[in-house]
Amino acid sequence: MSGLIQLLQNTLIRIVAFLSVTLKSIGNLFKNISNFLANVFGFSESESQYYLENDDSKGIKRSEPKPMLTTEEKTSFEPSANKRRSNNKQMDYYRKMAQEIQKG
């Protein structure tokens, strides 16, 4: 009976792998078509054909942002208050098992 279950599992794995490859290739096809149409109609972001002139050529002066003033600076390091150990009981189980194997 376990051979039949294994055969079904392997078959399902192969079907899922085939579908993932097929759907990925179909998705790439649609993506390529949409990218082509975007380039044709001028909606692509990578090959933008519109450029803005520099501010210098327009006679616009750019104002520099003022640096922010800080009033208090912390120099001491404060460790976090939470020093509890995580509740990972499964890891504790494996650690105990490893200690018993090393002893015995």
Three-state SS annotation for the chain? CHHHHHHHHHHHHHHHHHHHHHHHHHHHHHHHHHHHHHHHHCCCCCCCCCCCCCHHHHCCCCCCCCCCCCCCCCCCCCCCCCCCCCCCHHHHHHHHHHHHHHHC
* pLDDT for residue 91: 80
Res 84: pLDDT: 62
Q: Would the pTM count as exceeding 0.85?
A: no
Domain spans in the chain, listed from the N-terminal domain onward: 14-38
First to last CA, the chain: 38
Burial of 89 from C-beta contacts in 10 A (0-12 / 13-18 / 19+): exposed
| pLDDT tens, the chain, 104 aa long | 788 999 999 999 999 999 999 999 999 999 999 988 888 887 766 545 555 566 555 666 667 777 776 666 666 666 666 656 666 778 888 888 889 888 87
